[in-house]
């Protein structure tokens, strides 16, 4: 008995199956696809009709199929688009220049939300750098850069990584609380990069900045936003107050020991 897998399940829109081969030794399936010539060539940037220039081929990795590694070889064309110039043509199931199908990239990106990159790389037999690039591209697509207009009240704080050896400076919009900027380091220069990006006009509109009592941050804010009110948040004030109280307590104990 033989049966064919419905084309809709395979998900190779605008393409026809040319050949499928497999290797029991490497537990690999190789799928070869050819363009369905009934469809026009489309530019991968603007999705408009474009004229074919040069035929090319690319082999990309696909999702595991019943535990078998799957590779898909596609033919495609470099096209001349009236709007965008020379580009690669649109392939519905592969992003331009990607080395994996969209469905594999989506699976990788989803797992990266729950597992370390190295585990995801191991599961899909991918290089961890490939996994990192897929995750980065997905996040960039999913979360567009936040707008910096209409910001009047911001909060600045640092977070550490690499076991406290390295720092990131995070800037938040406190009117509509969300992260708007992240920079490497926690000094005045780090912060100046944010204000440079914000620009002089938008800096003038900053009314208040919540920061800890770091001298670097205070100086980093005062220069670009001289009129902004600097507010030290309660958490850091209480933290510093407790440090002083501890110091006094220790000193008083020592004095008491010496006196009696
Ligand atoms: Zn185009």
Give, in order, the Cα–Cα distances in Å from 110 to each of 116, 126, 131, 139, 197.
Answer: 11, 15, 11, 10, 31
Alpha helices by DSSP H, 125-205: 128-142, 188-198, 200-204
Is 1's pLDDT higher than 60? Answer: no
pLDDT above 70 covers a percentage of the chain that reads 96
36 Cα distance to chain centroid: 34
Question: Are residues 109 and 85 part of one domain?
Answer: no
Distance from the CA of 44 to the center of ligand 1, in angstroms?
Answer: 7
Question: Are residues 238 and 159 part of one domain?
Answer: yes
Q: What is the mean pLDDT of residues 87-114?
A: 91
Distance from the CA of 48 to the center of ligand 1, in angstroms?
Answer: 6
Confidence band, pLDDT 50/70/90 cuts, at residue 2: low
Distance from the CA of 81 to the center of ligand 1, in angstroms?
Answer: 5
Distance from the CA of 52 to the center of ligand 1, in angstroms?
Answer: 12
Question: Are residues 111 and 90 part of one domain?
Answer: no
Is 114's pLDDT higher than 60? Answer: yes
Is 7's pLDDT higher than 80? Answer: no
Distance from the CA of 91 to the center of ligand 1, in angstroms?
Answer: 13
Question: Is residue 50 included in any domain, yes or no?
Answer: yes
- 158-181 tens-digit pLDDT: 998 877 789 999 999 988 788 899
pLDDT at 74: 96
Phi-psi region of 116 (alpha: psi -120 to 50; beta: other; left: phi over 0): beta
Please give the tally of structural domains in the chain: 3
Question: Are residues 45 and 20 part of one domain?
Answer: yes
Distance from the CA of 88 to the center of ligand 1, in angstroms?
Answer: 9
Where is average pLDDT lowest: 64-68, 156-160, 177-181, 235-239? 235-239
Question: Is residue 123 included in any domain, yes or no?
Answer: yes
Where is pLDDT greater, at 177 or 18? 18
Distance from the CA of 77 to the center of ligand 1, in angstroms?
Answer: 13
Question: Is residue 241 included in any domain, yes or no?
Answer: yes
Question: Are residues 18 and 87 part of one domain?
Answer: yes
Question: Are residues 119 and 202 part of one domain?
Answer: no
- What is the C-alpha separation between 6 and 8, in angstroms, rounded? 5
Question: Are residues 61 and 27 part of one domain?
Answer: yes
Domain boundaries, position 215: 153-247
């Amino acid at each position: 008995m033989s049966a064919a897998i419905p084309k809709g399940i395979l998900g190779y829109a605008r393409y026809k199956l040319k050949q499928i081969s497999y290797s029991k030794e490497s537990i690999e399936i190789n799928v070869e696809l050819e363009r369905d010539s009934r469809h026009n060539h489309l530019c991968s940037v603007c999705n408009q009709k474009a004229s074919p220039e040069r035929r090319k081929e690319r082999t990309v990795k696909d999702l595991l199929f019943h535990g078998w590694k799957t590779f898909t070889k596609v033919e495609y064309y470099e096209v001349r688009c009236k709007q965008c110039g020379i580009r690669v043509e649109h392939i519905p199931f592969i992003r331009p220049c990607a080395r994996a199908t969209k469905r594999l990239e989506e699976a990788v990106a989803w797992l990266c939300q729950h597992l370390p990159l190295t585990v995801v790389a191991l599961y899909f037999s991918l290089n961890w750098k490939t996994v990192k690039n897929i995750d980065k591209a997905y996040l960039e697509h999913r979360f567009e850069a936040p707008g910096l207009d209409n910001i009047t009240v911001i909060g600045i704080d640092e977070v550490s990584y690499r076991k406290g050896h390295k720092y990131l400076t995070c800037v938040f919009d406190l009117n509509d609380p969300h992260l708007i900027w992240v920079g490497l380091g926690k000094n005045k220069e780090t912060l100046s990069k944010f204000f440079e990006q914000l620009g002089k006009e938008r800096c003038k509109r900053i009314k208040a900045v919540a920061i800890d009592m770091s001298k670097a941050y205070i100086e980093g804010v005062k220069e670009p936003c001289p009129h902004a009110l600097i507010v030290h948040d309660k958490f850091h004030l209480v933290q510093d107050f407790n440090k002083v109280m501890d110091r006094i307590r220790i000193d008083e104990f020592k004095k008491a020991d010496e006196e009696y």
